[in-house]
Amino acid sequence: MRQMKHVALLVSVFFVFTVAVAAEKSQVAISTSSRFLPTSFGQSANVRLIVRMEKHDRNWELEVSCDGLDGGFRTSTTKSFWSGNKQASIYDVGFALQSASYLCEAVLMRKQEDGKVEKFTSSLEVTVH
């Protein structure tokens, strides 16, 4: 009987730990390498962004954008998902950006059962010299 209590306690601790780890898992994350390749257009560079997202059958759309922090240049791209099983978990997105600082953002939109859209966001600042 005492041994069963120990097993039950161990299982419950494992369950609580597993739930806590799952709750912290990010649905979308954006990153980049620190090196940008210059383009032939003068003062611009090819910026490569890596977007990791959680596959889910209700994922609707992924938008990746870079917005100039000085209020200037903005660029974006959108990927729509029609079926959860055709999604990749990693997307490689490239933009040719002029010399400036940018806020780059990945927004994953997921439709809920009630039709509302839930948004998950990850962002980072990128400076092109």
pTM to 2 decimals? 0.74
DSSP 39-97: PTTSSEEEEEEEEEE---TTEEEEEEEEEETTS--EEEEEEE-S-GGG--SEEEEEEEE
pLDDT of residue 3: 57
Statement: residue 19 has pLDDT above 70:
no
Tokens representing 73 are 């240049």
- Residue 104 · residue 93 · CB < 8 Å: no
Distance from C-alpha of 5 to C-alpha of 86, rounded to nearest angstrom: 45
27-128 has CATH 3.40.190.10 classification: no
Structure confidence by residue, pLDDT tens digits, 20-68: 333 346 899 999 976 666 665 566 788 999 999 998 888 999 999 999 9
Mean pLDDT of 69-73: 81
